[in-house]
């Protein structure tokens, strides 16, 4: 059974796509928690960061560099937050690794 994100990558479900390359897709979150809230999703299925393997290191690095690049393109020079949820207690809603990027307002600490 495909995850929500696999269906978006396959264009079976529509999404507002901000960026895409051979390794990942960047979409705007449908329930934004900040004025700017997008997700960086690898095209390779990895259930969660806690299950990533050593050979996923370059892909995970690519996700973070893509997050920074897209944040810059969306004028988040004042700062942004990067979040990766892992497991139920970590707030994971979709079992497919993805990076949340939130910006456009000051972020509070602690976050949750």
pLDDT digits (tens, 9 = 90+) for 25-78: 999 999 999 999 999 999 999 999 999 999 999 999 999 999 999 999 999 999
Asked whether the CA dihedral 89, 4, 65, 60 is positive or negative, the reply is positive
pLDDT at site 110: 87
So what's the pLDDT on residue 89? 93
At 15, which CATH number?
3.30.428.10
* Res. 112: pLDDT tops 90: no
Going by their DSSP bridges, the two strands 36-42 and 24-28 should be labelled as antiparallel
* 100 annotated active-site: no
Single pTM value for the model: 0.95
In this predicted structure, the answer to whether residue 109 has a pLDDT above a threshold of 80 is yes
Give domain status of residue 112, yes or no. Answer: no
Mean of all residue pLDDT scores within the chain: 96
Q: What is the dihedral of CA 45, 87, 90, 82, to 10 degrees?
A: -10
Which of the residues 37, 62, 96, 98 is marked catalytic?
98
- The proportion of the chain whose per-residue pLDDT surpasses 90, expressed as a percent, equals 96
The larger pLDDT score, comparing residue 112 to residue 41, is at 41
Average pLDDT of span 95-110: 95
Q: Say how many domains are in the chain.
A: 1
Domain that holds residue 25: 4-103
The reply to whether 111 falls in a domain is no
Domain assignment of residue 61, yes or no = yes
62 φ, ψ to 5°?
-60, -40
And the tokens for 35? 């004025």
109 within domain boundaries: no
Average pLDDT over residues 1-23: 96
Residue 41 lies in a domain: yes
């Amino acid at each position: 059974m495909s995850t929500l994100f696999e269906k978006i990558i396959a264009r079976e479900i529509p999404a507002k796509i901000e960026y895409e390359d051979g390794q990942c897709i960047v979409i705007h979150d449908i329930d934004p928690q900040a004025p700017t809230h997008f997700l960086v999703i690898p095209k390779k299925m990895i259930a969660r960061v806690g299950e990533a393997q050593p050979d996923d290191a370059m892909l995970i690095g690519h996700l973070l560099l893509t997050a920074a690049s897209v944040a810059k393109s969306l004028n988040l020079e004042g700062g942004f937050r990067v979040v990766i949820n892992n497991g139920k207690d970590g707030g994971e809603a979709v079992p497919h690794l993805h990076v949340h990027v939130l910006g456009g307002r000051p972020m509070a600490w602690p976050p949750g």
